[in-house]
Chain A
Amino acid sequence: MTNIEQKNAPSPSAMGAQPTARQMGVVQRFLLSNEFGLIVLIVLFTIVFASISPMFLSNFSLYAMGRTAAVNIMIGFSMMVVIITGGLNLGVGAIGVCGAMFSGWLMQAAGFHWVPACFGGLTLGAMLGTANGVMIVKSGLHSFIITLATMSVMFGAMIFITQAGSFREISPAFSALGRTKILNVLSPMLLTSVVIGILLWAAFKYTTIGREILAAGANPKAAELSGIRVDRMVTYAHALSGVLAVVAGLMLVSRTGAAIPSMAGQLGQDWLLPAFLGPVLGGNLLTGGRISVLGTFLGAFLVTMLTTGLLLMQVGAFWVQTYLGLLLLLAVLLDLARRSYLARNKLV
């Protein structure tokens, strides 16, 4: 028995060699990944902006940038969890505002403590997301059409119910989250985004539902044949998207100290650009099946950083959008060049 065990046991050298090879594979994959490219670009642009405007790295600038990035990251996450099913959620802004306004109403009019009030808003977000998912599944129409319609319905209903009024009697403890500075430089909102990002990563990597959502997005027919209830997974993804959108809305409530109907612009359209930029730059496939939580995080952060840097450089107001587009194009091309270089020189 002992002999057999010894015979079957791997040799010490093999034990040492196998993990090293595996680790090399991981490193190589990471070097080729969008995430690494984004990290390189973030470092590169940080150096560029800091050398042009030293105030770029001031505590106030970093704090303000982190606070803005936190909201953009959450908006990106909200779209990301639907994109991985091969769908879209144009109602991210509308749902986010509806949930945030409901939380504001719970705090101000119903007198709830901020914790259950936020929970109420998140629940409404999940319900609105679920409604989207059910309609998409039952109608068989593309999520683009359904969420385009429900975006107007939800936002319109919210404006009608609130009469475009705001809720500003927000719990001071909750508002303080939007103004607190950790070590004079870090916003709790950014930490919240990091924690939610880790939770999402773990959920899609280690839970059955997470993996089934990805499988449903990668190949719905194959997933169906494997026993995965694709319709249910699509609905779950939209429900999760609704919750994450409300988290973004609640961050803005905390930031502004009020729940306001215009926080995401007309029909919530102001959130559409950040909703797509983070996930797309992060390497999430629009056809579904692949998720990159870190990529979405870094993509949203890069866009926020570029905007902040351009504003600090006093680029003419109407040129910011053009420069932002050019820098994003440059970013993508640099990343392409990096990967080509690595491949050409057989470095990976």
Chain B
Amino acid sequence: MTRKSLLTATTAGLMLGLLAAQAIADSSTRVALVPGGPHPYFAAWEQAGVDAAKDFGLGAADYRVPQKWELSMQNQMLESLVTQGYNAFLVFPGDPVGTVAIANELAGTGAPVMALAGCLQDPSDAKFCMGTDTGNSAYLGTKELLEVLGPDAKIAHFTGFLVDPNTQLRIDAVEQAAGEGGAEVVQVIADIDAPEPAEEKINAYLAAHAGEIDGIITTAWVPAVVASNALRKLGDKRIKMVGIDHDEVVINAIRDGYVHGTMLQNPYGQGYIGSFVADRLRSGCTVKEDAPFKTIALTDKFIDSGTVFAGIDAVDNYVGSMQTITAELFDGFEDTYLDCS
């Protein structure tokens, strides 16, 4: 080969490589990450989408929030996103049953649809559901609490909305763990995953009954924040509490010894891996028939995005803990769940 032809071949190779890279960078995949409404839990999805778009060369991976927690508002937004040209959807179902119809309609347009953070009730056209195993998280959190309290403890459970079927799963899981540990759940306060009812009910309960309980388990974001603040105000570190998620209020309360620990979830990993999978599915991959999905109450196609307890020892590195969970899940995800041959 002459020097000129070698140069030509090299140049052509470089051009092809650049074009290929450009093609990858200009992927037509436009992912919409749509929560049920505004909630701090989902804030990590925004960065996850930005990172995924950059790392995997997606056309877009945008976080789109319905302005209110209304099923109809979410449906209207999803319909609008189809019109805007989004072609892959990562959705927290506004309702596990009520969102099935719109998910099926989205899938009918050829877009891959995945349920994130919460599942759709089977059957649906969603490829799978990736989220926290809420029952397991509540169970493990209660076990952590009982480890520090010991047997015969009396605990209160503060949790989310009753219209969310996950709430009943959490209540049952806490009861189960308490029963196994010889403890008693003396009070369950539900329907309080919003600041106003949470402030009112948790403060009223603790004002009247703080002396009658040994521990608190919270299984929703807002009750965890409000209960952390309430314990700090009481200034009594006798009551032990295990919270959920990574709000700064909860993290600081752990640092200061008012809260025993928190059950971390992995919203970042859900958004990041979900965006990656959406693009792979649009590129021709399929979900393996024999993928090792877990079965939970709502679906047989569940992937646990991971949960981990962060106590005083791990609280300063909770971001690292979440990144570790994400890395573990991402590593081998394609081989485990997708068929790209």
Contact = CB atoms under 8 A, between A and B. Distances in A.
Interface of A: 55-56, 58, 60-61, 64, 68, 71, 159, 163-166, 168, 175, 178-179, 252, 255-258, 260-263, 265-266, 270, 307-308, 311-312, 314, 317-318, 320-321
B79 interface: yes
Contacts of A256: 71, 95, 97-102
A232 B251 CA distance: 60
Contacts of B283: none
Contact of B65 (A68, A261, A314, A318): A318
Contacts, number: 104
Nearest to B123: A168
Contacts of B65: 317-318
Contact of A261 (B70, B121, B163, B168): B163
B224 to A, nearest CB: 20
Nearest to A307: B76
B77 interface: yes
A164 B162 contact: yes
23 contacts: A68-B75, A159-B162, A164-B164, A164-B165, A164-B168, A166-B95, A168-B97, A175-B101, A252-B72, A256-B97, A256-B98, A257-B100, A258-B97, A258-B101, A262-B95, A263-B98, A265-B69, A265-B71, A308-B80, A311-B80, A314-B84, A320-B67, A321-B68
B38 interface: yes
Contacts of A164: 162-165, 167-168
B163 A317 contact: no
B181 interface: no
Given A179-B101, A179-B105, A318-B38, A60 B79 contact: yes
Given A64-B79, A68-B76, A262-B163, A166 B98 contact: yes
Given A164-B162, A311-B80, A321-B67, 8 more contacts: A60-B83, A68-B76, A159-B162, A166-B98, A260-B98, A263-B71, A312-B83, A317-B66
Contacts of A270: 68, 70-72
Contacts of A58: 83
A320 B79 CA distance: 16
Given A60-B83, A262-B95, A317-B67, A159 B163 contact: yes
Nearest to B77: A311
Contacts of B66: 317
Given A256-B97, A258-B97, A64 B76 contact: yes
B72 A71 contact: yes
Interface string B152-192: 00000000011111011000000000000000000000010
B329 interface: no
B64 interface: yes
Contacts of A178: 101
B82 interface: yes
A55, A258, A312, A321 pick with most chain B CB within 10 angstroms: A258
A60, A61, A175, A317 pick with most chain B CB within 10 angstroms: A317
A318 B191 CA distance: 24
A270 B76 CA distance: 14
Contacts of A320: 67
Contacts of A252: 72
A80 B319 CA distance: 53
B70 A265 contact: yes
A258 B98 contact: yes
A311 B97 contact: no
Contacts of A166: 95-98, 121
Q: Sorted from nearest, which 7 A-B pairs have the closest CB atoms?
A: A311-B80, A64-B79, A166-B97, A262-B163, A317-B65, A260-B98, A258-B97
Contacts of A61: 79-80, 83
Nearest to B194: A266
A292 to B, nearest CB: 24
Contacts of B98: 166, 256, 258, 260, 262-263
A58 B102 CA distance: 18
Contacts of A258: 97-98, 100-101
Interface in B77-121: 77, 79-80, 82-84, 94-102, 105, 121
Contacts of B165: 164-165
A257 B101 CA distance: 6
Contacts of B84: 55, 312, 314
B189 to A, nearest CB: 15
A21 B336 CA distance: 80
A68 B77 CA distance: 11
Contacts of B168: 163-164
A257 B76 CA distance: 16
Nearest to B35: A317
A307 B72 CA distance: 12
A312 B80 contact: yes
Nearest to B63: A317
Contacts of A60: 79, 82-83
Contacts of B191: 266
Contacts of A317: 38, 64-67, 77
A266 B97 contact: no
Contacts of B67: 317-318, 320-321
A271 B84 CA distance: 27
A308 B105 CA distance: 18
Contacts of B163: 159, 164, 261-262, 266
A258 to B, nearest CB: 4
A237 to B, nearest CB: 26
Nearest to B36: A262
A202 B67 CA distance: 38
Nearest to A68: B76
